[in-house]
Amino acid sequence: MPLMPAKPEYPHDHAQCSSDALAEAQRICARRGVRLTETRQKVLELIWGDHAAVKAYDLLEQLSGPGRSVRPPTIYRALEFLLENGLIHRIESLNAYVGCPQPGGQHSSQFLICDTCSIVIELTGADVARAVADEATSHGFEITRQTIEVHGLCGPCAARHAEGAPAP
């Protein structure tokens, strides 16, 4: 069952949104017979802290506390696992990660990325991917990976910008 999250840029019950995402991740891992270890789950939770892209460095800082230091390879292995199982996406232009609202399957998506608040909106409409694939075919080009990342301002940031108010 695909998750149907509220549009991230609008106010919504994010506690519900992130707990749904974590429950879905548990189900996917159980179905695949892979283990969502404590560290993996913690990393996923932090990524689902909101809809903004998170850098590995920030995850490292948030996971390390007084008397607890987490080493970078631990984080990278957890991220690798979450990527492999389709639970998160890597935003290449930011070198950061976001939770996938329709996790567990292979899909090519497009990302709208706000340059002010880093919110990432995932579009899963197949039309864009198909249009690119068709163009590629007409050039005799074989696609191995499609990454479409679109930068700009999200709705609320654009509205604030229009009012001339400073960004948060």
User: What's the length of the chain?
Assistant: 168
Smallest distance from Zn ion to CB 28, Å: 12
Q: Do residues 70 and 60 lie in contact, with contact meaning Cβ atoms separated by under 8 Å?
A: yes
Nearest to 86 by CA among 102, 110, 109: 102
Separation between Cα atoms, residue 7 and residue 121, nearest integer Å: 8
Which amino acid, residue 35?
R
21 counts as binding Zn ion under rule CB under 5 A = no
108 counts as binding Zn ion under rule CB under 5 A = no
R_g (Cα) of the chain, nearest Å: 17
Number of residues that bind Zn ion (CB under 5 A): 10
90 counts as binding Zn ion under rule CB under 5 A = no
From the list 25, 36, 75, 114, which residue makes contact with Zn ion (rule: CB under 5 A)? 114
Question: Is the CA virtual torsion 89, 90, 92, 93 positive or negative?
Answer: positive
From the list 3, 14, 27, 52, which residue makes contact with Zn ion (rule: CB under 5 A)? 14
Is 17 part of any known ligand binding site?
no
Nearest to 53 by CA among 106, 107, 110, 97: 97
Beta bridge partners of 68: 65
Query: Which segment (37-45, 64-72, 106-114, 141-149) binds Zn ion by CB under 5 A?
Result: 106-114
Query: Which segment (20-28, 33-41, 68-76, 93-101) binds Zn ion by CB under 5 A?
Result: 93-101
From the list 21, 54, 70, 100, which residue makes contact with Zn ion (rule: CB under 5 A)? 100
Nearer CB in complex with Zn ion: 109/110: 109
Binding residues for Zn(2+): 114, 117, 154, 157
Binding site for Zn ion (CB under 5 A): 14, 17, 100, 109, 114, 116-117, 119, 154, 157
